[in-house]
Amino acid sequence: MSANIYKENDILVFKKNHPCGGNSWKVLRVGVDYKLECTTCKRIIIVPRFDLNKMVKKTKE
Ligand SMILES: [Zn+2]
């Protein structure tokens, strides 16, 4: 429904905190699935774009 709205290296702030306490994620790869790295614990997750749009609160410059 929408094009890729986030770019590689964008920092995304999630509504919910990661179990490590952080809530900022760096975009490593974009596409149908997004690859994100937690900026606090460096864990990497894969999130479908459709779900990501609901999880992100804002982007950080
Ligand atoms: Zn984390």
Does 55 have pLDDT greater than 70? yes
Average per-residue pLDDT for the chain? 92
1 in any annotated domain? no
Of 19, 16, 14, whose CA–CA distance to 36 is shortest?
Answer: 14
How many C-beta neighbours within 10 Å does residue 25 have?
28
Q: What's the CA-to-centroid distance between 22 and ligand 1, angstroms?
A: 5
pLDDT at 46: 98
39 in any annotated domain? yes
pLDDT at 3: 60
pLDDT band at 60; cut points 50, 70, 90: confident
Could you tell me the two tokens for 30? 């974009």
Residues 22-42: tens digit of each pLDDT:
999 999 999 999 999 999 999
Q: How large is the average pLDDT for residues 13-22?
A: 97
Write out the residues surrounding ion ligand 1, Cβ under 5 A.
18, 20, 22, 38, 40-41
Q: What's the CA-to-centroid distance between 50 and ligand 1, angstroms?
A: 21
Q: What's the CA-to-centroid distance between 2 and ligand 1, angstroms?
A: 27
Number of structural domains in the chain: 1
Q: What's the CA-to-centroid distance between 16 and ligand 1, angstroms?
A: 11
Structural domain span for residue 33? 11-60
